[in-house]
């Protein structure tokens, strides 16, 4: 009753459930790691994301897309990180509204330190579960799953006018 797109709906839901549960299970183990003394997992996520960006820093807006946190929450978290000396805020050179966040040397040091221990835990929990080929396959599929999101429109049309329910759009 109603397969759509490529995959059947049922299989897609089951796969998402597996993805979600796997994430929960491993995340829970990672959180119990004593590494998080002094830095929350979400805070680490911010520090880590900053290392992936250019050295000049990142706009708050761009950083926010990488992190599962509302804009106000991220704003305040950056506040806290800045007051601890782990990041630096500056106003964007080309946009007076914008704020650029950058890791301080201390922040980079903390990120590396925590990241090392974090990586060790991941290697154990993820690397200990699947062999190298399987990891490569898994990573590839996840990467494509994520990349495909850019070309999939929202299920809920932003401005659904009462008429025209059947416009195929693009």
Partner DNA sequence: GTAAGGTCGATGCGAACGCATCGACCGCTC
Partner DNA sequence: GAGCGGTCGATGCGTTCGCATCGACCTTAC
* 106 near a second copy, judged by CB under 8 A: no
Question: How far apart are the C-alpha atoms of 22 and 28, rounded to whole Å?
Answer: 10
For the segment 94-113, give every residue that binds DNA (CB under 7 A).
95-99
Tokens of 121: 């835990």
Cβ distance 87 to 48 under 8 Å? no
Question: How far apart are the C-alpha atoms of 86 and 84, rounded to whole Å?
Answer: 6
Cβ distance 135 to 127 under 8 Å? yes
Tokens of 54: 């250019």
Tokens of 44: 């680490």
Q: Which of these ranges, 16-24, 77-85, 95-103, 162-170, lies near a second copy under the rule CB under 8 A?
A: 16-24
Q: Which of these ranges, 18-26, 75-83, 84-92, 93-101, lies near a second copy under the rule CB under 8 A?
A: 18-26
Q: Which of these ranges, 72-80, 83-91, 106-114, 153-161, lies near a second copy under the rule CB under 8 A?
A: 153-161
Binder of a second copy out of 1, 96, 156, 159 (CB under 8 A)? 156
Buried b (16+ CB within 10 A) or exposed e, 72-107: eebeebbeebeeeebbeeeeeeeeeeebbbbbeeeb
* 123 near a second copy, judged by CB under 8 A: yes
Residues touching a second copy: how many (CB under 8 A)?
A: 62
Please name which of 40, 41, 14 lies closest in space to residue 26, comparing C-alpha atoms.
41
Residue 3 C-beta: closest distance to a second copy, Å = 9
* 69 near DNA, judged by CB under 7 A: yes
Residues 38-77, one symbol each (x = binds a second copy by CB under 8 A, - = not), give ----------------------------xxx---------
Collapse the DSSP code of 88 into the 3-class scheme (helix H, G, I; strand E, B; otherwise coil) and give the result: strand
* 49 near DNA, judged by CB under 7 A: no
* 113 near a second copy, judged by CB under 8 A: no
Residues in contact with DNA by CB under 7 A are: 40, 42, 59-61, 64, 68-73, 75-80, 89, 92, 95-99
């Amino acid at each position: 009753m109603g397969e759509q797109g490529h995959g059947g709906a049922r299989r897609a839901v089951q796969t998402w459930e597996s993805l979600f549960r796997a994430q929960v299970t491993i995340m829970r183990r990672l959180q119990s790691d004593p590494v998080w003394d002094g830095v929350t997992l979400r805070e680490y996520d911010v520090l880590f994301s900053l290392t992936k960006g250019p050295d000049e820093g990142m706009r708050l807006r761009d950083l926010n897309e990488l992190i599962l946190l509302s804009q106000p929450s991220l704003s305040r978290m950056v506040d806290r990180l800045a007051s601890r000396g782990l990041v630096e805020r500056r106003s964007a050179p080309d946009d007076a509204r914008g704020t650029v966040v950058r890791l301080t040397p201390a922040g980079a040091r903390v990120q590396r330190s925590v990241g090392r221990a974090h990586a060790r835990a991941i290697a154990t929990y993820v690397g200990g579960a699947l062999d190298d080929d399987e990891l490569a396959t898994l990573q590839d599929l996840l990467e494509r799953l994520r990349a495909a999101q850019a070309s999939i429109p929202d299920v809920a049309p932003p401005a659904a006018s009462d008429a025209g329910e059947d416009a195929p759009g693009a």
